Amino acid sequence: MEWTPGGTSGDIEDRRDESVGGGGGFGFGGIHLGCGGIILLGILSLFFHRNFFTLLSSQNTAPTATSRPDYARDQREQPEVEFVSFVLDDVQQNWSRILPQARNIPYRHAHLVLFRDAYPSGCGMAQEAIGPFYCPEDEKVYLDLGFFDELRERFGAPGEFAQAYVIAHELGHHVQKILGIEPKVQRLRESRPDEANALSVRLELQADCFAGVWGYSTAQRRIVDQSDVEEALNAAAAVGDDRLQKMARGRVSPETFTHGSSADRVRWFKRGFQSGEISACNTFRSGS
């Protein structure tokens, strides 16, 4: 992927040296979790795609400790910060062009919060073990750069465009918020609990398709090639529910899917990538 280093985006909030940490555990609502408890909740959160840490605290609970600033590590991570900045700005510039043209709706920028280990968000405590996520309450994406190591080493999805796909997917959720899709789906999930998982899958697959819509623009500008596209497809497949469930417990339960299978995630990313059109991403159409 061709990109130009250029400092840090104005839409990035760097909280890496403000993250919660230290002391051998975290305090949540008076409960002190050791490393084992943190790991267990992290695995459950990753598997079920739900922030189980919020069960132990409200979003306003203050952390019991803060990590010491690690300026040397900050410097080592600077190339990654600049890459994230490039992708963040590029994706948002693309949506700033597309939304007014396609829907006559102005795009408003989301912020991306870089944190390390843990950091409070408007949707509960952001945790490294949970992975990147978009919080509609404060319209921010939360990312621990350590996730990219996990993506490469644990999930077998290396490459810059794989990382870019992750960021574009989370910003796809922001587009859903702007279009009114996200709040509508959340209301439906609350009123139809038996359909909550299926609705969540459609929401996630649409975010994959929206990531592909941005990918289409990168191909048009010739800043990616086929090997880059394969990296993104590999990343989409790597985080499919069926693959994650197989890794976690050795079997697959489709009725518990919340993000979609590997094949579905790849398919919907491709639809956005091949069309570059919002209209191609209607995962809520009957039979989709």
- CB 21, CB 116: distance < 8 Å: yes
The pLDDT tens digits along the chain (288 residues) read 999 888 899 999 999 998 665 333 333 333 333 334 444 455 545 555 555 544 444 444 444 445 677 888 888 999 999 999 999 999 999 999 999 999 999 999 999 999 999 999 999 999 988 899 999 999 999 999 999 999 999 899 999 999 999 999 999 999 999 999 999 999 999 999 999 999 999 999 999 999 999 999 999 999 999 999 999 999 999 999 999 998 888 999 999 999 999 999 999 999 999 999 999 999 998 676
pLDDT of residue 63: 45
| pLDDT value of residue 248 | 87
**Distance (Å, rounded) from C-alpha 150 to C-alpha 43?**
13
- Listed in sequence order, the residues at least 6 apart from 180 whose beta carbon sits closer than 8 Å to its beta carbon are none
Residue 67: predicted pLDDT: 60
* pLDDT for residue 249: 87
Measured distance CA(232)–CA(238) in Å, rounded: 10
> Model's pTM, two decimal places?
0.83
pLDDT of residue 28: 33
pLDDT of residue 189: 94
